[in-house]
């Protein structure tokens, strides 16, 4: 697909009064994190996708809650020059991100040769943070911005120099004890989708049976444990969705839960890696729930019920076939009339 000719766009229009300074800053930060670009200083744009729709709807709801007005529109331009201008704006924004990362990676590479343990440890931690930021920018690189390969090469050299690939345990595969996560509040984004519904179910069934769930950003509930939010430790890591990250971090190896994880992976990441036959039906159920429920708590409860039922269907043995029953009418011998 040629992005210049075929891309459909989502447009967010919003207004917040000057007296709502905190809400204005928060909205701006959110828009930067989802990779939106501004058009004529009056609208923010993303390429149309289910993920972009969810991101903009979330920001719209926060703007309204903050005392402003907002709407999300779908748009398509018939002017090739305007279409190219939008594509170039996205490429330029991500190119700036890659350039900044390249500069920081080059500085880290100069310090990577330190022999003292403390210095090497700090550099190794810095490399981990740089790689996570790089992966985030790559997810927002919708149109192939320049600079990506340069950063990847620098990070590869840093991994080799620091020995990170041999000695560091990636964030997503470190093991956590469930003891410190009992009876806690867990925070995620509003209007949960398949990854958040299934992750909440996983948390309550395998990690924290008394878990309660809240919606918003980390600043609204600083004591809550964030999951599937921006920059959350329990979120997407590498090619894993949040459900898979939680399974890895808490060593959840239950076969039925792993089966659900394959379904969630393909639905959440829009992939067909596992091709589980139930995926399409589960995706439709989740979408139907999101259209039915406006209240986040009710939506999450309904979604968790769906995943509990799915789990039970995978975990339970198939029903035994009854014995001694009469054969179907078509196969029963007919009684002769006298």
The secondary structure of 17-71 as a DSSP string is -TT-HHHHHHHHHHHHHTT-EEETTTEEEEE--HHHHHHHHHHHHHHHHTT-EEE
> CA-CA distance, 219 to 233, in Å (whole number)?
15
**C-alpha dist (Å) from residue 71 to 8, 11, 25, 53, 63:** 17, 8, 18, 11, 10
- What confidence score (pLDDT) does residue 252 get? 95
- What confidence score (pLDDT) does residue 93 get? 95
Kindly report, residue by residue over 292-301, the tens digit of the pLDDT.
998 999 999 9
> CA-CA distance, 12 to 53, in Å (whole number)?
10
Kindly report, residue by residue over 200-250, the tens digit of the pLDDT.
999 999 999 999 999 987 667 888 999 998 668 898 876 789 999 999 999
DSSP string, 233-302: SBS-BTTB-HHHHHHHHTT---HHHHHHHHHHHHHHHT--SS--TTHHHHHHHHHHHHHH--SHHHHHHH
Average pLDDT over residues 174-183: 84
Give percent of the chain with pLDDT exceeding 90.
48
pLDDT at residue 52 greater than cutoff 60: yes
Kindly report, residue by residue over 74-120, the tens digit of the pLDDT.
999 888 998 999 999 999 999 999 999 999 999 888 887 665 555 66
**In the numeric block, which tokens belong to residue 46?**
């993303």
Q: What is the mean pLDDT of the chain?
A: 84
Residue 181 banded pLDDT, cuts 50, 70, 90: very high
pTM: 0.55
- What confidence score (pLDDT) does residue 258 get? 94
Q: Is there a contact between 94 and 137 (Cβ–Cβ < 8 Å)?
A: yes
Q: Is there a contact between 187 and 215 (Cβ–Cβ < 8 Å)?
A: yes
Q: Is 152 exposed, middle or buried (0-12, 13-18, 19+ CB in 10 A)?
A: middle
- What confidence score (pLDDT) does residue 281 get? 96
Q: Is 256 exposed, middle or buried (0-12, 13-18, 19+ CB in 10 A)?
A: middle
Please tell me what DSSP assigns to residue 232. -
Classify 99 as helix, strand or coil.
helix
**In the numeric block, which tokens belong to residue 44?**
């923010």
Beta bridge partners of 213: 186
Residue 161 banded pLDDT, cuts 50, 70, 90: confident
The alpha carbon of 168 is separated from its chain's Cα centroid by a whole number of angstroms, namely 24
The residues near 275 (Cβ < 8 Å, ≥ 6 apart) are 266
């Amino acid at each position: 697909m040629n992005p210049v000719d075929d891309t459909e766009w989502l447009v967010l229009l919003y207004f917040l009064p000057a007296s709502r300074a905190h809400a204005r800053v928060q909205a701006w930060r959110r828009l930067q994190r989802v990779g939106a670009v501004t058009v004529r200083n009056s609208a923010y744009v993303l390429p149309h996708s289910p993920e972009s729709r969810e991101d903009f709807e979330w920001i719209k709801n926060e703007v309204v809650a903050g005392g402003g007005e907002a709407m999300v529109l779908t748009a398509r331009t018939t002017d090739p020059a305007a279409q190219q201008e939008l594509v170039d704006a996205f490429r330029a924004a991500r190119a700036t991100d890659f350039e900044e990362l390249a500069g920081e990676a080059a500085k880290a590479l100069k310090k990577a040769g330190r022999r003292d343990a403390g210095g090497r440890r700090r550099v190794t931690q810095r490399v981990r943070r740089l790689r996570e930021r790089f992966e985030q920018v790559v997810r927002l690189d919708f149109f192939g911005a320049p600079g990506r390969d340069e950063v990847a090469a620098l990070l590869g050299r840093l991994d080799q120099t620091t020995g990170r690939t041999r000695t560091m345990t990636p964030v997503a595969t470190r093991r956590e004890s469930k003891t410190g996560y009992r009876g806690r509040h867990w925070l995620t984004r509003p209007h949960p989708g398949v990854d958040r519904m299934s992750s909440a179910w996983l948390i309550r069934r395998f990690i924290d049976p008394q878990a309660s769930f809240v919606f918003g950003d980390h600043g609204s509930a600083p004591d809550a444990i964030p999951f599937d939010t921006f920059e959350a430790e329990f979120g997407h890591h590498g090619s894993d969705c949040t459900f898979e990250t939680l399974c890895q971090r808490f060593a959840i190896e239950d076969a039925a839960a792993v089966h659900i994880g394959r379904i969630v992976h393909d639905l959440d990441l829009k992939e067909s890696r596992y091709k589980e036959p139930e995926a399409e039906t589960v995706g439709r159920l989740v979408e139907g729930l999101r259209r039915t429920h406006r209240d986040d708590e009710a939506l999450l409860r309904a979604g968790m019920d769906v995943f509990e039922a799915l789990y039970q269907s995978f975990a339970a043995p198939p029903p035994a076939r009854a014995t001694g029953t009469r054969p179907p009418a078509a196969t029963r011998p007919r009684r002769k009339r006298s």
